[in-house]
Amino acid sequence: MGKILLAGGAGYIGGHTAVELLEAGYDVVIVDNYSNSSPEAVRRIEEITGKSVTTYELDIKDTDKLENVFKDNDISAVIHFAGLKAVGESVAKPVMYYRNNIDTTLSLLECMSKYGVHNIIFSSSATVYGEENPVPYTEEMKRGTCTNPYGWTKVMMEQILEDASKADAELSVVLLRYFNPIGAHPSGRMGEDPQGIPNNLMPYVSQVAVGRREKLTIFGKDYDTPDGTCRRDYIHVVDLAKGHVKAVDYVFGHKGVEVFNLGTGTPYSVTEIVDTFEKVNGVPVPHVYGERRPGDLPESYANADKALRVLGWKTEKTLADMCRDSWNWQKNNPNGYNK
């Protein structure tokens, strides 16, 4: 078997997936431009696994440069993590988001076609279910209306991959719709390292706990949910990474497009996250309640039955594990990979 190309493999989810793939015996190649990550993340992957990783620093939109990776390596499958992912920034800079996220996908598909690589796994998102679908989301639901350009890039890329698969009977496409990844590697050596002010809940909570930010603002407490705050399907990043190993096993024996939700199926509210974090870690997370954040849905959670039935995958870690590992990463690396 050839190597698995991890596009955006130095990032939060790609890095954890690299570790799980290497530990399962797969050979990987990482391609990343470090626009939202750092070479130090690759060093940590090598440290945790004791294996060295072939890495290319390049912009995946640059098809000519990307081609060299396919020329130099025997690639048997691609996992496409590379993308910009900040919802608010995508509203302010839609063209940059469409350019980066769509062009990386097209560039990868062109190289795959030229070099006879037939297998691709794509990092999609629960956001493609949009505003219309009722929770819990199941894979056969139609993609809905997104509230921001980031979400639309995911909808468009799913469509592009479906069209590519219709035109090429050899192609095997797996669309993984992630719910809300949080947590970190239990070693405390790898985790999420957002640049600037975090947009997402768990990095914000951790940075408040470590004293980098004064307090958390909980966005809205008047939603139609049990405690009035939004509920999400938080999934430990290591469980998510293990889902990719199962998807790699699956993608080789399959043709056409298959979609999987990767979530736990159990929603937790913002308040439950804060309470669990404080309790498990014994640290206070000062917080206040503020206005709703535009575009937030009251609830988003998966029906995760298909991944269990078809891939034999389900999550193993608890919310307490997620909070403990996020804090373990944050307190040992208060400034992320910049030490």
Query: Which residues have a catalytic role annotated?
Result: 150
Of 38-46, 131-139, 213-221, 276-284: span binding ligand UFG (CB under 6 A): 213-221
Per CB under 6 A, 101 contacts ligand UFG: no
Per CB under 6 A, 204 contacts ligand UFG: yes
Q: Which of residues 126-185 bind ligand UFG (CB under 6 A)?
A: 126-127, 150-151, 180
Q: Which is nearer to ligand UFG, 34 or 219 (CB)?
A: 219
Residue 1: alpha-carbon gap to chain centroid = 25
Q: Which is nearer to ligand UFG, 56 or 178 (CB)?
A: 178
3-class secondary structure per residue, the chain: CCEEEEECCCCHHHHHHHHHHHHCCCCEEEEECCCCCCHHHHHHHHHHHCCCCEEEECCCCCHHHHHHHHHHCCEEEEEECCCCCCHHHHHHCHHHHHHHHHHHHHHHHHHHHHCCCCEEEEEEEHHHHCCCCCCCECCCCCCCCCCCHHHHHHHHHHHHHHHHHHHCCCCEEEEEEECEEECCCCCCCCCCCCCCCCCCHHHHHHHHHCCCCCCEEEECCCCCCCCCCCEECEEEHHHHHHHHHHHHHHHCCCCEEEEEEECCCCCEEHHHHHHHHHHHHCCCCCEEEECCCCCCCCEECECCHHHHHHHCCCCCCCHHHHHHHHHHHHHHCCCHHHC
Of 32-40, 43-51, 139-147, 279-287: span binding ligand NAD (CB under 6 A): 32-40
Q: Which of residues 245-274 bind ligand UFG (CB under 6 A)?
A: 270
Q: Which of residues 62-91 bind ligand UFG (CB under 6 A)?
A: 85, 87
The one among 37, 125, 271, 276 contacting ligand UFG by CB under 6 A: 125
Per CB under 6 A, 125 contacts ligand NAD: yes
Q: Which of residues 168-187 bind ligand NAD (CB under 6 A)?
A: 178, 180-181
Per CB under 6 A, 100 contacts ligand NAD: yes
Residue 338 Cβ, how far from ligand UFG at the closest point, in Å?
22
Per CB under 6 A, 123 contacts ligand NAD: yes
The one among 6, 33, 108, 241 contacting ligand NAD by CB under 6 A: 33
Residues that bind ligand UFG (CB under 6 A): 85, 87, 125-127, 150-151, 180, 199-201, 204, 216-219, 230, 232, 270, 293, 296, 300
Residues that bind ligand NAD (CB under 6 A): 8, 10-14, 32-37, 59-61, 81-83, 85, 100, 104, 123, 125, 178, 180-181
